[in-house]
Chain A
Amino acid sequence: MRLERHPILEFVRGKRITFTFDGESIEAYEGETIAAALHAAGIRVLSRTRSGAPRGLFCAIGKCSSCLMTVDGIPNVRTCVTPIREGMVVESQRGPGKLNPVFRHRPHEAVCKEAEVVIVGAGPAGLSAAKVLLNHGIRPLVLDENPHLGGQLIKQTHKFFGSRAERAGTRGFSIADELVEEIEGEAEILRQARVLGLYCEDGRRVLAVAHAEKLLLVAAKDLVVATGAQERFLLFPGNHLPGVYGAGAVQTLMNVYGVKPGERALMVGAGNVGLIVSYQLLQAGVEVDAVVEAMPEIGGYHVHAAKIRRLGVPILTSHTVVRALGKERVEGAMIAQIDGKFEPIPGTERELAVDLICLAVGLNPSTRLLEQAGAQMGYVPELGGRVPLHSPLMETTVPGVYVAGDCAGIGEASTAMLEGELAAFSLLAKKRFEVREKIALVQRSLEKLRRGPFGERPRTGKEKVFTLMKEVAVG
């Protein structure tokens, strides 16, 4: 179901178009992704496994492969990041999908390209890096695999914390608009450009990019990797059912495409993401039956918890989801209280009649390109798992390859913007620009944002990364 009215957002829809799903004709709007259009039409089962189990969306940002379908004869298309087009033939798959025998692959030469600086990822970190470079006369090539620029900012309807320098008080999607406006027309931007490989050898840095059905080979002098993060999954029976969605996917559906993700929701996780998305569900007219949190206390800011509590949403700490109910899609959720060892306490199970189970159980940095490039990694749980080692100036162990934002350790968008700026200034310093004062300023702002009890995790995590980095440099 599409949302017509929203207290914060205005949905500007494109031209009405028609496509087919497994032979059935469906109406959609230009600008929607295939997955969003199907969801709006009430279709949640996108494909099936070999054994016939239903598969739906999970991440909605092209990272998890849960939404693969066959589109115009091409199997394994990520329908969550592929825009729908008039007359498209969309088919569900059973298993990995097969190439349509009629489909002929058109062989073509790779297109070669050079760029002084390439930025991978146009979220808050990448866009901020691009702006700093432009201000210093460098025109970066910005690549993003999504149809929209702005990363996860585009679905943030809440006003940001921080200070004015970090655009506090402005809603996330407006920050995305501002950042995009600052670089649009100036930087070279490729949307729906998926970086398939990054090769760093003998001082050369080459990216293999799939864009507009062509293979681009981009030789870059320097590189800022700002690839963000992917949502963690949670183990419980029924977690494969369509209707078990990542918090980010729920935001994408309702805040980017104006598609209601369900009617009644269970939120799993009371960190800031879980609390904020619960509030956003209420704003989209979705009932939230409960927020369950495995830890004995709420993880996020009290003010975010207070917003949903006073609207009547219970937050159940020391509780978890035990299983999802339903055959073809989520028809309910069993929750239970858990003991000190996170084991469900018998007799405390309770069934909730929800059609949506939203997982907000943390993020992992998206680091595959960096690993491929040979960047040394370290395991830092405070930053979400395996992260690329980097200096306080955001340079990795591969010279000329910088990182910023969630892929360098999970944080929030304000720190991602600052890290993007820092990576760019650091890169400029290597090119002998006089930016020492700017670097000191950004580092001070970062330090300010990481103060206080909520800043402890990222602060500790970053210290670990810098220490590991030093050891590598010495060793």
Chain B
Amino acid sequence: MAEFRRTGVLPLGKLEGKVPPRERLLRGPCATIECVEWIPCNPCEEVCPVGAITVGDPITNTPNLDFERCTGCGACVGTCPGLAIFLLDLSGGIARVTVPYELLPVPETGEVVELLSRAGEVLGQGKVTRTRRVGTTWIVTVELPAEQIFEVRAVRVCNG
């Protein structure tokens, strides 16, 4: 049995090939899809405006993302039913992560929020740089230390 089936937390090793390389992120935002199981689902493939995501047939394939084609638009982040897609960005010397957000209150731009790991540990605080709605889901972009870009996968409003 894979360890993440017991813990609910994906180790980085399980995401090999799913994380965009650093050089790509220096050029601007790019999605990362943390979807590793064969489940029947493909809205990410359908919603991608540039055809960067392939699920194909059968529909239980895990999605494959073409990092070079991805424009970091975030359509998939707000669409994925599993809330398993995030945007990473290291351009302009600032590290940012964009996460789907379905709680209240929705943080405001400029607000400082807690940064949470895949296991829910508080890794620090970061400033929200952008919030927007994709369909019925909010997506929130937050600035954070570059070394946390592969760790932070949720935000929590302080005293919320």
Binding site for B on A (CB under 8 A): 5-8, 158-164, 168-169, 171, 282-283, 285, 296-298, 301-313, 315, 317, 414, 448-449, 451-455
Contact = CB atoms under 8 A, between A and B. Distances in A.
Interface string B35-65: 1111111110011000000000011100000
B74 to A, nearest CB: 15
A306 B84 contact: yes
A313 B120 contact: yes
A305 B82 contact: no
Return the 4 tightest CB-CB contacts between A and B, nearest first.
A303-B82, A312-B120, A305-B8, A452-B38
Contact of A163 (B9, B59, B84, B136): B59
Contacts of B90: none
Given A309-B9, A311-B156, A169 B60 contact: no
Contacts of B79: 159, 169
A309 B1 CA distance: 19
Contacts of B154: 310-311
A455 B83 contact: no
A285 B58 CA distance: 38
A285 B103 CA distance: 9
Interface string B132-158: 000111100000000000000110100
Contact of B104 (A5, A297, A313, A449): A5
Nearest to A164: B46
B58 to A, nearest CB: 5
Given A306-B34, A451-B38, A317 B46 contact: no
Given A307-B83, A310-B153, A302 B37 contact: yes
* Tier of interface size on chain B: 35 or more
Nearest to B40: A449
Contact of A310 (B1, B39, B116): B116
B1 A297 contact: yes
Given A309-B118, A451-B38, A453-B38, A315 B8 contact: yes
A302 B14 CA distance: 12
9 contacts: A7-B138, A162-B42, A168-B43, A169-B135, A296-B1, A306-B10, A309-B119, A311-B116, A448-B40
Contacts of A298: 5-6, 8
A169 B8 contact: no
Contacts of A296: 1, 6
Nearest to A285: B104
Contacts of A449: 40, 59
A310 B103 contact: no
A454 B41 contact: no
A320 to B, nearest CB: 15
A301 B37 contact: yes
B46 to A, nearest CB: 6
Contacts of A414: 40
A448 B8 contact: no
Given A309-B9, A312-B120, 16 more contacts: A7-B103, A159-B137, A161-B81, A161-B82, A285-B104, A297-B5, A302-B4, A302-B36, A305-B8, A306-B9, A306-B34, A310-B116, A310-B119, A311-B154, A312-B116, A454-B39
B68 to A, nearest CB: 25
Contacts of A306: 8-10, 34, 82-84, 118, 153
B111 interface: no
Nearest to B99: A310
A303 B59 contact: no
Contacts of B135: 169
A161 B40 contact: yes
A305 B5 CA distance: 9
Contacts of A5: 104
B127 to A, nearest CB: 19
A282 B154 CA distance: 14
Given A161-B41, A455-B40, A448 B58 contact: yes
Contact of A283 (B35, B102, B106, B136): B102
Contacts of B116: 310-312
B129 interface: no
A453 B41 CA distance: 13
A297 B156 CA distance: 27
A44 to B, nearest CB: 25
B13 to A, nearest CB: 15
B82 A301 contact: yes
Nearest to B58: A451
Nearest to B14: A302
A455 B4 CA distance: 20
B7 interface: yes
A308 B103 CA distance: 12
Contacts of A164: 43, 46
A320 B119 CA distance: 21
Nearest to B120: A312
A105 B104 CA distance: 50
Contacts of B106: 7
A168 B6 contact: no
